[in-house]
């Protein structure tokens, strides 16, 4: 009898494991995700506000360029003044003037490096509201069409295959009131 009870327990345990595995597979199949794509860069470039962002960035860049030109002119003036009068300076004055010129060179170098960072910061600041609008519209479309994941196919995207049926770019543009061009 012990043998038959042990076999019955093993048989029952196998049945339980089998039923659990079927339930697991069924739940996984019912929880499949729906994946879509979007080209955020394309939408951004089509937004009417993008023109003013580009214009503001251009103006800001020109302002930085003018500041750099002023610094360069000041540096050039100090350098010419130094070269013209170096023979009449005392050793202490020569060291002071050279130090001043080197400091101006360092300031110009730092300004150039910071200028690139300042442009990026300004660009992010100006584009942030546009990205926010895109995100909100994308959220609406993704919920309406029951997407669980959306991948960006723009510059930063790295998809190797795209089924156009799952691209929500046009739907998001329509949600934003942007005319979709074929």
User: 150 and 103 share a domain?
Assistant: yes
Domain that holds residue 103: 33-175
pLDDT digit string, tens, across residues 120-158: 999 999 999 999 999 999 889 888 988 888 888 877 666
User: 24 and 60 share a domain?
Assistant: no
CATH code of the domain containing 86: 3.30.910
Whole-model pTM: value is: 0.66
Overall domain count for the chain: 2
User: 73 and 139 share a domain?
Assistant: yes
Nearest one of 80, 50, 166, 68 to 114, comparing CA atoms:
68
In the chain, DSSP assigns E strands to: 35-38, 149-152
Answer whether 41's CB lies under 8 Å from 63's CB.
no
Q: How far apart are CA 143 and CA 36, in angstroms?
A: 12
User: 89 and 140 share a domain?
Assistant: yes
pLDDT digit string, tens, across residues 67-118: 999 999 999 999 999 899 888 989 999 899 999 999 999 999 999 999 999 9
pLDDT at residue number 51: 96
């Amino acid at each position: 009898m012990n043998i038959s009870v042990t076999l019955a327990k093993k048989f029952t345990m196998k049945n339980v494991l089998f039923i659990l595995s079927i339930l697991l597979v069924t739940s996984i199949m019912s929880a499949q995700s729906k994946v879509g794509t979007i080209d955020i860069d394309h939408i951004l470039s089509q937004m009417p506000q993008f023109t003013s962002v580009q214009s503001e960035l251009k103006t800001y860049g020109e302002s930085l360029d003018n500041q750099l030109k002023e610094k360069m002119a000041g540096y050039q003036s100090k350098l010419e003044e130094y070269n013209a009068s170096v023979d009449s300076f005392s050793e202490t004055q020569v060291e002071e003037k050279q130090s001043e010129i080197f400091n101006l060179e360092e300031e110009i170098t730092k300004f150039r490096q910071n200028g690139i960072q300042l442009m990026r910061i300004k660009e992010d600041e100006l584009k942030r509201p546009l990205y926010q609008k895109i995100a909100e519209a994308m959220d609406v479309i993704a919920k309406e069409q029951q997407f669980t994941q959306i991948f960006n196919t723009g510059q930063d995207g790295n998809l190797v295959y795209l089924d156009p049926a799952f691209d929500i770019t046009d739907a998001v543009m329509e949600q934003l009131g942007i005319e979709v061009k074929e």
